[in-house]
């Protein structure tokens, strides 16, 4: 069975989820988001890119003295994020509808790039990571937070079995981390397990070009 994630599935899924996304995914994934922002190591006036910013659940975690750009494929999710930008009075935030696998930003435009709970919900995860690397300056920081395929045989079999259903819902359960990083030419400096049952992995990479 073909379990390739298609862009139309992603758009449809997140248009559907946007009204209830915060209710479903805020608190359960909050600890991982806090750790991800911490590992970015944001400094004053840093240029930050958040890939797949969604409804803006990370917005309140950013310092106000950085320059944040957030992109997402879903117009509906970005509308929710814009509401938070207004609510939090964040004049340092710019939101754009954009395909993360074909960004319109210049090379080396950002100091730090973040993707939380995104890489398994895009049709071309390698392409997205390569773009994140391209737009991040040399020596900059790239942080990825996601669920990746388990090393446990039983869990891995369950992830493979669920893959066709979850792909229809807009994400993949069986994305393997190490081959993904190799394909994108990224070397992890820090890896940590976060969230419920340590089921999600945080990966910090220095951008070596």
| Whether 41 contacts 141, CB under 8 Å | yes
Q: How far apart are CA 207 and CA 33, in angstroms?
A: 21
Q: What is the pLDDT of residue 165?
A: 46
Q: Taking a C-beta distance cutoff of 8 angstroms, is the pair 7, 74 a contact?
A: no
pTM of the model: 0.85
Query: Environment class of residue 114 by beta-carbon count within 10 Å: exposed (0-12), middle (13-18) or buried (19+)?
Result: buried
Supply the pLDDT for residue 168.
52
- What pLDDT sits at residue 199? 83
The domain spans of the chain are: 7-206
3-state secondary structure of 191: strand
Q: Are the CB atoms for 34 and 57 separated by under 8 Å?
A: no
189: which residues sit within 8 A by CB, 6+ positions away? 204, 205, 206
Tokens of 75: 């117009």
What's the full length of the chain, in residues? 209
The third-level CATH classification (topology) of the domain covering 7-206 is Rossmann fold (3.40.50)
Q: Tell me what the mean pLDDT of segment 187-191 comes to.
A: 96
Is 138 or 1 the better-scoring residue by pLDDT?
A: 138
Q: Is the dihedral of CA 145, 147, 153, 156 positive or negative?
A: negative
Residue bearing the bigger pLDDT, 125 or 163? 125
Q: How does pLDDT run across 151-169, given as a tens digit for each residue? A: 666 555 565 555 554 455 5
Q: By the 8 A CB rule, do 111 and 86 touch? A: no
Q: How far apart are CA 25 and CA 66, in angstroms?
A: 25
Res 153: pLDDT:
64
In terms of average pLDDT, the best of 129-133, 169-173, 205-209 is 129-133
Q: How far apart are CA 152 and CA 129, in angstroms?
A: 25
Task: Please report the pLDDT score of residue 2 as a whole number.
Answer: 41
- What are 194's strand-pairing partners? 200
Say yes or no to pLDDT of 135 above 70. Answer: yes
Please state the rounded mean pLDDT for residues 44-60: 97
pLDDT score of 15: 56
- Pairing relationship of beta strands 110-116 and 93-97 according to DSSP bridges: unpaired
Q: Within 13 A of 144's CA, how many CA atoms are on the CB side?
A: 29
| pLDDT tens digits, one per residue of 65-124 | 999 999 999 999 999 999 999 999 999 999 999 999 999 999 999 999 999 999 988 889
pLDDT digits (tens, 9 = 90+) for 2-51: 445 556 656 665 556 666 667 767 788 999 999 999 999 999 999 999 99
Can you say whether residue 90 is alpha, beta or left, with left for phi > 0 and alpha for psi between -120 and 50 degrees?
A: beta
């Amino acid at each position: 069975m073909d379990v390739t994630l298609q862009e139309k599935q992603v758009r449809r899924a997140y248009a559907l989820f946007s009204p209830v996304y915060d209710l479903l995914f805020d608190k359960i994934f909050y600890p991982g988001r806090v750790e991800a922002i911490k590992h970015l190591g944001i400094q004053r006036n840093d240029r930050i890119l958040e890939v797949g910013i969604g409804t803006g659940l990370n917005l309140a975690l950013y310092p106000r003295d950085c320059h944040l750009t957030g992109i997402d494929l879903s117009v509906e999710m970005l509308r929710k994020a814009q509401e938070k930008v207004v609510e939090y009075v964040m004049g340092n935030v710019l939101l754009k509808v954009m395909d993360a696998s074909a960004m319109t930003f210049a090379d080396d435009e950002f100091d730090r790039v973040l993707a939380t709970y995104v890489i398994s919900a895009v049709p071309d995860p390698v392409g997205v990571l390569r773009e994140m690397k391209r737009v991040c300056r040399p020596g900059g920081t790239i942080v990825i937070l996601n669920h990746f395929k388990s090393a446990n045989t039983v869990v891995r079999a369950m992830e493979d079995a669920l893959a066709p259903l979850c792909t229809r819902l807009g994400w993949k359960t069986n994305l393997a981390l190490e081959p993904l990083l190799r394909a994108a030419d990224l070397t992890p400096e820090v890896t940590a397990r976060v969230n419920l049952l340590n089921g999600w992995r945080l990966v910090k990479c220095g951008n070596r070009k």
